[in-house]
Structure 1
Amino acid sequence: MAIEARNMAGRPALSKREIEVLILWLACDSKQQAARRLFVSESTVHTHVTRIRDKYRVVGRPAPTKIALLIRAIEDGICTLEEIADHGGDLLHHPSATTYSPVVGRKSA
């Protein structure tokens, strides 16, 4: 229980949009590709990713690289490696993009 409580305290509260951008960016080859799929500018994707990294840094779990953010997303139950590999850009419409709960860090059913 103490380990679980410690893990929950280390999870940043990501917004629904931050989760959507994170999942899609992780599945894409570049911020530019993610931006095209999101119908936003590359700068907007960059801003979201920077804020996500800042939130992880504040809770003591820095993620300075794309692979580090992928690891954090998997650790926090935001997505799985299989989802990223199998579905790519289709993840924007995947249920985990809209049902992630930052309180418990798991996808709801």
Structure 2
Amino acid sequence: MNVVCPGTGAAASRTTVVLADDHLVVRAGMRLLLSQDETFDVVAESSTVAETLQAVQGHRPGVLVLDLTLGGRSSLPVIPEMLSASPGMRILILTMQEDPEFAREALRAGATGYLLKEAAGEELLAAARQVASGATYVQPAMGARLAMTGEAAGGTDVLTGREVEVLSLLAVGHTNQEIARRLYVSVRTVETHRARIRDKLHIRTRAELITAARERGLLT
């Protein structure tokens, strides 16, 4: 995108960025870091899913740096809508969620980068540059975990960490809606986890589900 450099009137090719995080300090740190790189121009910030959608629709940025939880709501289900609002936009997830299943879901939804908040500032810049260039960036440690869980998923009864959580909550009687609220994900994501659990463990009834949870030490 071409923007006018303040104070010069000269056009420069810079990537516009929207920062979406519900912690002001985190956004301030990201803004400071990105503003020191002439590659980027931070044009807006947001702290909720609704604000993020408005910012994306209004600015149509080149890159959206997005936390997976905004104001207590998961942003995962809204990724496709955000991409539709700004065709060609690239989404870099910056989150504390270490579960590789979150990374897999985000990438499946259309994100092109996944980075943990524990990463150094230099890695955030590198990830932003790579995503802006059209490439995909996954933090190396997370990429290794994705590969490992991907191999495990090829087995008949190996569950991911997130699937174990869902199984344990289902076994004690929580509904899909309650699980979604507890895990800060969409109901659809819970339903997907539930379907995968059933397929992997070959279970169809609630009694079989409870038995599977007890066999894995999830019930006392």
Q: CA deviation at 1:74?
A: 1.0
Out of 69, 73, 81, the residue aligned to residue 213 of structure 2 is 73
Would the aligned equivalents of 2:180 and 2:186 in 1 still touch at CA under 8 Å? Answer: yes
1:40–1:28 CA distance, 2 compared to 1 (3 A)? farther
Q: CA deviation at 1:13?
A: 0.7
Amino acid at match of 2:181: R
Residue 22 of structure 1 corresponds to 167
Q: CA deviation at 1:41?
A: 1.1
Matched pairs, number: 66
Would the aligned equivalents of 1:28 and 1:34 in 2 still touch at CA under 8 Å? Answer: no
Residue 8 of structure 1 corresponds to none
Amino acid at match of 1:52: I
The 5-angstrom pairing of residues 1-109 of structure 1 reads 12-57=157-202, 63-75=203-215, 77-80=216-219, 82=220
Q: CA deviation at 1:68?
A: 1.4
What TM-score do the two structures reach when normalised by structure 2?
0.28
Q: Which has the higher strand share?
A: 2
Unaligned 5+ segments in structure 1 are: 1-10, 58-62, 83-109
Runs of 4+ residues over 6 Å off in structure 1: none
Amino acid at match of 1:15: T
1:50–1:22 CA distance, 2 compared to 1 (3 A)? same
What TM-score do the two structures reach when normalised by structure 1?
0.52
2-structure distance, mates of 1:24, 1:41:
15
Identity percentage of aligned residues = 42
Which deviates further from its counterpart, 17-26 or 30-39?
17-26
Amino acid at match of 2:201: Y
Would the aligned equivalents of 1:23 and 1:79 in 2 still touch at CA under 8 Å? Answer: yes
2-structure distance, mates of 1:32, 1:24:
11
1-structure distance, mates of 2:200, 2:170:
17
